[in-house]
Amino acid sequence: MSIEKGEVLPGATLLRLGDAGPETVSLGEKMKGRKIVIFAVPGAFTGVCTTAHVPSFIRVIDALKEKGVEEVICISVNDPFVLKAWGESTGATAAGITMLADAESAFTTAIGMNFSAPPAGLINRSLRYAMVVEDGVVKVLNQEETPGVCEVSGGEAILEVV
């Protein structure tokens, strides 16, 4: 069963690539007492993720912050090396988007947002969604019907509901 509006997100340990190598990041700490936006993609360097989803949040990150969002986080079931390279190549990192890896799909599976599409080479990946989270509670959850579409989970759609 997928996480729903009004529920508390589980604390999770995600990864990012720091100067000394992979570092753990506590999602629970990032959420505590803060208003954040989390969006997730099926895979770094994949089509819609790269050409639509990430760019949509780059376009609206300043407007989200004006509305009180303290951090925008992109989560993907990839390793932290890939997420760092992808964040740099898309401009997401320079724009201020935090790129976090759910390398084992533990968080994604815990919130029921996992899927597999073996013909496309996507195994244990994340569905495409975006959520507004306040102090760990899901206030808005916009999930796409199919992973190849970025409409309700795009930056502009989230900006309208923050």
Q: Which helix (H) or strand (E) is 123 found in, with range?
A: strand 122-126
Annotation says 49 is catalytic? yes
Contact between residue 77 and residue 103 where contact means Cβ atoms under 8 Å apart: yes
Could you give the angle at which helices 80-90 and 54-66 cross, rounded to 10 degrees? 80
**Three-state DSSP class for residue 122:** strand
- Cα–Cα distance, 13 to 39 (Å, whole number): 16
- Cα–Cα distance, 139 to 124 (Å, whole number): 26
- Cα–Cα distance, 152 to 96 (Å, whole number): 22
Choose the catalytic residue: 12, 31, 41, 49. Answer: 49
**Three-state DSSP class for residue 153:** coil
For 23, the token pair is 């570092």
Catalytic site residues? 49
